[in-house]
Structure 1
Amino acid sequence: MLCFKNADLVKNLSLLDRAFHYGDGCFSTARMHDNTFELKARHFARLAFAAKRLLLNVDLDLIEQSVRRIQQQHNPMNGTLKIMISRGEGNRGYALPDHPADIYVIFYPQTITDFQFETISSGVLNTAMGLSMPQLVGIKSLNRLEQVLLKKEAQDKAWLEALVTDVQGGIVEGVSSNCFIRINNTWITPELRYNGVHGVMRAEILSRMQKQQIVCEQRYVDMGEISTFQSLFFCNALNPMKAVTDLNALPLDVQPCFELFQTLQLNQMSEYA
């Protein structure tokens, strides 16, 4: 593992960093495949959007500089990048410091291959997600306590991924993924109006569906509709599709997921990066 702070290699972090004290910042997790930064434009756009919402003064060029330095040690570059933007060091208290934000780029080298179609067994978690402050909806902030607690329940039930609802009974997403649902032969993805993360893979899939003229509704999905689910899959930047074979022991049809995987060529991301 390598960690760069503002394009400089570091081995120690400051205890005064507000990311440590308050989760004050945002992040994105990306895949590097043979030196290709997959979905790069979408990751940068999401980070820029989050930085604006969080009032972070940030220079995203530092990400490119960090990646070039990593490539000096890992070429070709294969693995996972975690890009974290922190407001940086500050005094005790919530008041914002008046200096540029810090960018951390952490690289986890690993063997990377083309994406494969995957299937999993899943279910609906009992723990519900709260409603977010409007300014924070869609942002992948450094505060992930909800996901930590949700992941614990999913692990206890031996689910690699699980469906999450909110306190109003709406279906939101997976613990660490967005989701697409098939009802009445139509694809739907929850609209994420009050919570959830605007995932880069979700955006990529929606774009490819539009190009292929495949209808996908973005709307509120009530948990009462679960009995009408025909198909379901989860997606994130590290895996474009985990099709669900059964949800709470209710069998689902994975064939529409497989056909969509092939039609959208989700095994490849480099040509769209």
Structure 2
Amino acid sequence: MTAWLVNGNRADTVAVDDRGLAYGDGLFETIAVRGGQPRFPDAHLERLAKGCARLGIPYPGDELLAKEIRLLGNCEHGTLKILLTRGGGPRGYAPPQVRMATRIIGLSESKPGGTAVDAVRIRYCETPIAVNRALAGIKTLNRLEQVVARAEWSDPGIKEGLMLNDRGDVVCGTMTNLFLVSGGGLLTPDLGECGIRGVMRDRVMRLAEQNNISVAEVRVSKADINEADDLFLTNSLIGAWPVAELNGQQYERSAVTSRLMQLLAESGVMECAV
């Protein structure tokens, strides 16, 4: 069960004219709660603030959001979701001037799952992800591309699907960022044109650089993936998933992936603990 606040008040409904509902005019963050505390909250709020600046939505400020998160109470293990919309307004796409974003915050408790050390099977998606520099990197409410891509398979043994842009570059998973291990270093898709700059992606890149593991943001092709030593996926809830198989091609976990998972576990991402 999820407890919700709307603009600081207990509620489970929003106005029918909210532009987040009508147009996806807003942003969101999904934050893991572990040991009773949100994980990496500063990084999530920083991305949220940058997204608001990009869309011209007034950012409520870290202090107000933190206060409202505390009003929800606490849970030992769960998921915190923050949605900011431009609020209500007249019909039409032209964005109205608003003084404050509509704030929708939910906290759901869950049972701790297993670790992410078991490698996963994944596939390619047929649904492309659109190139759009204006929205690249930020986490908008419009996720229809991911919804349609995720509807392509129902096999519970396949955990994720990789999405390509119209040029054939591999960009990301439906809910994850992608890393390739090649020649002892990391490659990850350049997200300057599309895709979300994940908080866990940033964490992995920082840990790699701090531990003398090279990282490069590049255009990634299917050929690059075929030639990679290893693959893994990241997001804020799972930590990191090593890839065992992609469309029939097998991968063995490399020492680089094992080392990075150890570093993630040591930095508080216990899903990666061996």
TM-score, structure 1 normalization: 0.91
User: How big is the shift at 1:135?
Assistant: 1.8
Alpha carbon RMSD of aligned pairs, Å? 1.9
Give CA-to-partner distance per residue, 1:101-128, whole Å, 9 cap, x none. Answer: 1111111111246854231111222222
User: How big is the shift at 1:166?
Assistant: 0.9
Q: The residue matched to 1:92 in structure 2 has which SS?
A: coil
How many Å separate the matches in 2 of 1:239 and 1:137? 22
- Residue type of the partner of 1:187? L
| Structure 1, unpaired ranges of 5+ | none
Instruction: Tell me the equivalent position of 1:209.
Output: 208
User: How big is the shift at 1:77?
Assistant: 4.2
The answer as to 2:16 corresponding to 1:12 is: no
How many Å separate the matches in 2 of 1:248 and 1:113? 26
Runs of 4+ in 1 over 6 A off after TM superposition: none
Q: Mean alpha-carbon deviation: is it higher for 8-17 or for 156-165?
A: 156-165
CA contact (8 A) 1:179 1:189 kept: yes
Give CA-to-partner distance per residue, 1:152-174, whole Å, 9 cap, x none. Answer: 11436852112211110111011
Cα–Cα, structure 1 residues 263 and 109, in superposed 2: closer, same or farther, change >3 Å? Answer: closer
The answer as to 2:53 corresponding to 1:52 is: yes
Instruction: Tell me the equivalent position of 1:22.
Output: 23
Identity of aligned residues (%): 27
Instruction: Tell me the equivalent position of 1:62.
Output: 64
How many Å separate the matches in 2 of 1:180 and 1:173? 9
How many Å separate the matches in 2 of 1:267 and 1:52? 29
How many Å separate the matches in 2 of 1:146 and 1:211? 35
User: How big is the shift at 1:266?
Assistant: 5.7
The answer as to 2:95 corresponding to 1:124 is: no
Q: Mean alpha-carbon deviation: is it higher for 4-13 or for 43-52?
A: 4-13
Instruction: Tell me the equivalent position of 1:243.
Output: 242
Instruction: Tell me the equivalent position of 2:3.
Output: 2
| Structure 2, unpaired ranges of 5+ | none
Q: Mean alpha-carbon deviation: is it higher for 106-115 or for 2-11?
A: 106-115
Q: Which structure would you say has the larger RCO, counting Cα contacts within 8 Å and 6 or more residues apart?
A: 1
User: How big is the shift at 1:26?
Assistant: 0.6
- Residue type of the partner of 2:30? T
Q: The residue matched to 1:198 in structure 2 has which SS?
A: coil
How many Å separate the matches in 1 of 2:12 and 2:174? 30
Instruction: Tell me the equivalent position of 1:169.
Output: 168
CA contact (8 A) 1:39 1:269 kept: no
Instruction: Tell me the equivalent position of 2:38.
Output: 37
TM-score, structure 2 normalization: 0.91
Q: The residue matched to 1:20 in structure 2 has which SS?
A: helix
CA contact (8 A) 2:229 2:254 kept: no
- Residue type of the partner of 1:250? Q
CA contact (8 A) 1:58 1:102 kept: no
- Residue type of the partner of 1:202? R
Report how many residues are paired.
Answer: 266
- Residue type of the partner of 1:65? K
CA contact (8 A) 2:116 2:241 kept: no
Q: Mean alpha-carbon deviation: is it higher for 22-31 or for 221-230?
A: 221-230
Cα–Cα, structure 1 residues 154 and 195, in superposed 2: closer, same or farther, change >3 Å? Answer: farther
User: How big is the shift at 1:22?
Assistant: 0.3
Q: Mean alpha-carbon deviation: is it higher for 79-88 or for 91-100?
A: 91-100
The answer as to 2:104 corresponding to 1:107 is: no
